[in-house]
Amino acid sequence: MYTDKVMEHFTNPRNLGDVDNPDGIGQVGNPTCGDIMRISIKVEDGRIADVKFRTLGCAAAIATSSITTEMAVGRTLDEALHLTRAQVAAELGGLPPSKMHCSNLAAAGLHAAIKDYVEKNGLNLDLSGMETEEDAHGNGEAPEG
């Protein structure tokens, strides 16, 4: 059902916890499955310098949170905003269709933390293309791209 990489990130999650004095915090949840994710970020020179997560959910939710944090570190805010749920799932070697909503939440949580940072700091960053929590409540299929 799950790839070895999903199981590795589930049993040994990376970046678990909270960033000290975070610059942005995003919390998202999916009422369908009960998953809740909180992602905190530290931004330095326009790049994500640190990112951590706390997730209450299934193996896929924890694994997608873990891999999303790994994928986000070192990226510019704009690059991190363009990190998609399909990329998260692909990085894990795929997810069962019934668990794709978990990757939707991980990307949405990261994007919510960036949005929080942008709004707190009055930055001019285009947020129109970011995936939101509402995107996680779709049909469970990964979008193309």
- At 123, give phi and psi (nearest 5°): -80, 155
58 is catalytic: no
Q: Among residues 19, 61, 95, 102, which one is catalytic?
A: 102
Which among 71, 74, 142 is positioned nearest to 110, based on CA atoms?
Answer: 71
Segment holding 106, helix H or strand E: helix 100-121
Cβ 40 vs Cβ 16: under 8 Å = no
Segment holding 124, helix H or strand E: none
SS3 115: helix
Q: State the sign of the Cα–Cα–Cα–Cα dihedral 94, 97, 99, 100.
A: positive
Q: Among residues 7, 16, 25, 33, which one is catalytic?
A: 33
Catalytic residue positions, numbered: 33, 102
